[in-house]
Amino acid sequence: MASATILRTSFLPKISEWFAVNSSQQTSHLQPTSVALTVRASAYSDELVKTAKSIASPGRGILAMDESNATCGKRRASIGLENTEANRQAYRTLLVSAPGLGQYIFGAILFEETLYQSTADGKKMVDVLKEQNVMPGIKVDKGLVPLAGSNDESWCQGLDGLASRCAAYYQQGACFAKWRTVNNGLVPIVEPEILLDGEHGIERTFEVAQKVWAEVFFYLAENNDMFEGILLSPAWIPPAVPGIMFLSGGQSEVEATLNLNALNQGANPWHALQNTCLKTWGGMPENVKAAQETLLVQAKANSLAQLGKYTGKGESEEAKKGMFVKGYTY
């Protein structure tokens, strides 16, 4: 059994206090009200904690390659490539087999197709990753659909059959998951995402984020989740959680890496970016080596940023291009 201390919205620091706390590491002026809740351990408790701490290790992060087939189609179109299973397989093989990937990457989030997919020479993708000392992860939701009667809102499918799917993913070699996992040995990345759209400033962004994070963790504890066995994306973190996964979506590779660097006087894991790698590859077999080298350059840059040592010097123009899409849907 474990005890979790929960902070509700009204007890979190104001934005001015937040920056003061992070710069001085002094929290004595904050007096949150604590609510003790009992968190049940599971048969996977030790494994979950070990996996979460491993993924949150200094200087390494997560390669997000969990694009759905539809999203793959949009990105392949940007390089004039048809969205076929063979082309998806070729690009994913390029990513997982990049020499030395495990030096900077500890985990790779996969789409379901990839988890069960093999490379062109018949080797399982998950085995290629494990040989590189990279933990396979899995995206477990089933995508967004319109919410009837709403103001253009959507809801995320995938709760039906989730427990059995997660058990199967675990047997296939997955170690962690994006979205909910209903345990089954998979470390969940809790991702209370707040969209970038809007004309509001950082104060309003922080106000909304603060409320969302507090509510999420309150209800995680009410449902007996073990904080030591989860990861958080993107920003605020209770002391028990092993690591934050910095969400880079919508930013250019350089912008995201500079922002990660600014956050890191302590260490936070990260999501590696693929845009320049994809453009370098262009669907051409003769470009695989150059694309892999580009991926490793970006992974190393994020590794340095996670340690607070990135400068942004020498980056390509492609890496500086923004990736924000207004009203983007998955």
Q: Which CATH number goes with the domain that contains 307?
A: 3.20.20.70
The three-state secondary structure class of 124 is strand
Question: Domain range for residue 245?
Answer: 2-26+33-320
Helix (H) / strand (E) element for 105: namely strand 105-110
Task: Write down the pLDDT at residue 21.
Answer: 43
Band (pLDDT 50/70/90 cuts) for residue 287 is very high
Predicted local confidence at residue 53, as pLDDT:
86
Average pLDDT score over the chain: 76
- pLDDT-wise least confident of 34-38, 163-167, 257-261: 34-38
| Domains identified in the chain, total number | 1
Q: Which residue has the tokens 């150059």?
A: 290
Give a yes or no: residue 18 inside a domain.
yes
Question: Is pLDDT above 70 for 97?
Answer: yes
In a domain, 295, yes or no: yes
How many Å apart are CA 64 and CA 283, to the nearest integer? 19
Tell me what pLDDT residue 242 has.
55
Contact 293, 101 (CB under 8 A): no
With contact defined as beta carbons under 8 Å apart, do 236 and 217 qualify?
no
Q: What are the tens digits of pLDDT across the range 200-229?
A: 887 888 888 888 888 888 888 888 888 888
pTM over 0.75: no
325 assigned to some structural domain: no
In the chain, the largest separation of any two C-alpha atoms, in whole Å, equals 60
Cβ atoms of 49 and 240 within 8 Å: the answer is: no
DSSP-assigned letter for residue 186? P
290 token code pair: 């150059």
Residue 98 lies in a domain: yes
Instruction: Please check whether residue 214 lies inside any domain of the structure.
Output: yes
CA distances, 27 to each of 18, 200, 208, 210, 314 (Å): 9, 28, 22, 17, 39
Percent of the chain clearing pLDDT 70 (strictly above): 67
Judge whether 32 and 11 are in contact, CB under 8 Å: yes
Residue 119 confidence (pLDDT) above 90: yes
Check whether 182 has a pLDDT greater than 90: no
Q: Is residue 88 part of a domain?
A: yes
Residue range 223-276, pLDDT digits in tens: 888 888 888 765 445 545 555 555 555 555 556 555 555 555 444 444 446 778
Whether 23 shows a pLDDT value over 60: the answer reads: no
Whether 316 is in a domain gets the answer yes
What mean pLDDT do residues 68-73 have? 86
d(CA 73, CA 83): 5
pLDDT: which is higher, 329 or 63: 63
Q: What is the pLDDT of residue 29?
A: 44
Q: Which of 275, 235, 231, 233 has its CA nearest to residue 251?
A: 275
Do the domain assignments include residue 326?
Answer: no
